[in-house]
Amino acid sequence: MSLTRIAAIQGESVRSPLAGERVLTRGVVTGGTRKGFFIQDPDGDPRDDSSHGLFVFRPRHGTTIGSVVEVEGIVHDFVLDETDRPTTQLVLKEMRVVTEDGPGIEPTWLNADLLSGSDLARTLNSFEGMLVGIQPGATFIAPSNPFGDYVVLPKGLEAPRTVHQGVRIRPDSPHLWYPSFRVLDYKSAPQVNVGAELLTAVVGPLNFRSSAFQVAARKTFRAQPFRVVRETTRLATGGTAITVLTLNGFNLDAKVEDPTKVNDPGRDIDDDYGDRRFDMLGRAMVEQAGGPDIVALQEIQDNDGAEMTDVVDASRNYKLLIDAAKAAGGPTYSWADVPPGRDEDGGQPGGNIRNGFLFNPSRVELLPDTLTRIAPNDPSFDGSRKPLRAHFRLRETGAELAVINVHLASKRNQHGAFAPERPGFDPRLELRMRQADLVRGVLIELNAKGTDYYVTGDFNDYEFSPTLERLLGDESINLVDRIPANQRYDYNHRGVSQVLMHGIVSKRQAAEREIGYEILHGNELIGTQPGQLGEKPTDHAYVIARLETQ
């Protein structure tokens, strides 16, 4: 049977009418992944809006790029998630090498001309499984990660840029796709930062995985390095102002988990202490953030990390973080949290993730009976991190500041940009909006009493989202809106720089008080060496505010 006939259905992003049938076909091997290899019809015209390539599922296949193979197997529609588009594959039963020296196939270049069309999904569907390439001159817009993934902006492709050479999210199109590729050989895969330049072409079959298209690179590449310097604050701590740093701990814990006590040994074992993440975060608090009065922490796990035990206390993690800040020349912080019930707040199984505070007791005091979780029994926070509220008093002036530390529901299960139905749909948006309503209810009460407040943390949503609109209401403003648009980002998701952390104050505070706000860029721009972990303290930038009290 013609390879093109089997593969062309991918251009429509629907299930193959041949699914379940046993077929015999042949093609040129163009590349592979750890799970199989790709073949392509050498006579297919890449301009005819239909795919001529097919993925053959067979780990440890032993094929050679450029050879012609005859394959027999069962046509299968692979769907990783029910909201994803199906991918037509051939589950290999028999294979014969026809020749080691097949006809050459020229890649289709993923350049500005090809990617600027109005129907990008259909364009990429039509090239799925086929040989494509990315030309030199592209800019890396995501940092390299431990899995050998890279994202670039091709030369000439228009996009809203960041001050650090990345690409900003677009409110009108928040789910734009930019060319991505994966290098399998971690040892030869370079570590790159956002802003690096691609010096050699990347060629490979266009694969569909993890809800997006990605080039399965046939070999590694060279890049022009781009140096990223972790930024330091210009907002001084001291005097009559209170400084608050927002820091995502990225599932921080001090325990190397026992493999027999975790949910998934392949994912749930780490060594944050041995990887020096505590030291790096301590230095960040002092050297980058200037030893702020208050640190609002998210993603702090319990003392035994992801182990499935009754432990929910996180005191050892806080102590190590406090010791690290002191060793870096910072103040001796105190800590405060309200631990969750076992496995009640979501996050990594067994981790008992929570929000917490560090505070400098020589500068601020935690007012008695003010440390509470907001609406802990409301169904909107079932299986989700509860906002942590605390009232602090500045010792110098006696001024009070209510700080609310949030970590709203994640975007888990969001439809991908290429989903056949409702691309980009976020099924948890309504949940985040209900959570925002509950937080806003507290702000209305504080505003009526004339109490200054600051809401920060990981909102898991953008500054232009309905979530933030609901939280702000008529009472508050988002300090993110005060900084230049090309600096509004603290997180990088598949090459798109975006804001997930925010700083909310009342309109009265903004009118009456001097307020400073900064995003300290660096972590979200610096790449990790593929195949390695523990090189970055967190995947977010840090956010700091200086709130004058008089």
3-class SS at 519?
strand
79 residue type, one letter: V
Q: List, in sequence order, the alpha helices (H) in 264-350.
A: 277-283, 315-327
Is the CB of residue 203 less than 8 Å from the CB of residue 408?
Answer: no
For residues 193 and 145, what is the distance between their CA atoms, to the nearest angstrom? 10
The Cα–Cα gap between 501 and 459 comes to 6
Task: Read off the pLDDT of each residue in 427-434 and give the average, rounded to a whole number.
Answer: 97
Lookup: tokens for 443: 């702000």
Q: Is the pLDDT of residue 12 over 60?
A: no
Percent of the chain with pLDDT over 70: 99
Query: What is the rounded average pLDDT of the residues 235-254?
Result: 97
Q: Which residue has the higher pLDDT, 60 or 191?
A: 191
SS3 442: helix
Contacts of 446 (CB under 8 A, 6+ apart): 402, 453, 506
> What tokens does 375 get?
């609406």
* Residue 386, pLDDT score: 97
Is residue 498 over pLDDT 70? yes
Using pLDDT thresholds of 50, 70 and 90, give the confidence band for residue 239.
very high
CB of 336 closer than 8 Å to CB of 300: no
* Cα-based angle 524, 205, 67 (whole degrees, multiple of 5): 140
Domains of the chain with bracketed CATH: 3-99 (2.40.50.200), 108-224 (2.40.50), 241-548 (3.60.10.10)
User: Residue 413: what pLDDT?
Assistant: 85
What average pLDDT does the chain have?
A: 95
Name residue 311's amino acid.
V
Could you read off the pLDDT of 281-326 as tens digits, one per residue? 999 999 999 999 999 999 999 999 999 999 999 999 999 999 999 9
Q: Which of 1-5, 108-112, 379-383 has the lowest mean pLDDT?
A: 1-5
Would you say 235 and 291 are in contact if contact means Cβ atoms under 8 Å apart?
Answer: no
How does pLDDT run across 139-151, given as a tens digit for each residue?
999 999 999 999 9
CA distances from 300 to 32, 279, 335, 457 (A): 39, 15, 12, 13
Closest CA to 313 of 321, 301, 295, 325: 301
What pLDDT, on a 0 to 100 scale, did the predictor assign at position 289? 98
Give the integer Cα–Cα distance in Å for 449 and 517: 25
Beta strands 504-506 and 202-209 are: unpaired
Identify the band that residue 13 occupies on the pLDDT scale cut at 50, 70 and 90. Answer: low
- Whole-model pTM? 0.95
- With a CB cutoff of 8 Å and minimum separation 6, the contacts of 460 are 407, 408, 409, 410, 411, 432, 467, 500
Q: Is the pLDDT of residue 352 over 90?
A: yes
Res. 14: pLDDT tops 70: no
> Lowest-confidence range among 15-24, 254-263, 364-373, 383-392?
15-24
Closest CA to 206 of 59, 435, 32: 32
Residue 74 contacts by C-beta under 8 Å, 6 or more apart in sequence?
A: 20, 21, 22, 23, 90, 91, 93
User: Strand order of the sheet with strand 241-252?
Assistant: 334-336, 354-359, 294-300, 241-252, 542-548, 515-520
Write down the pLDDT at residue 9: 66
**What's the start-to-end Cα distance of the chain, in Å?**
79
Q: Residue 77, Cβ neighbours under 10 Å: how many?
A: 16
Evaluate whether 478 touches 517 at the Cβ level (below 8 Å): no
Compute and round to an integer the Cα radius of gyration of the chain: 26
Q: According to the model, what pLDDT value does residue 421 have? A: 86
Q: What average pLDDT does this structure show over 46-66?
A: 91
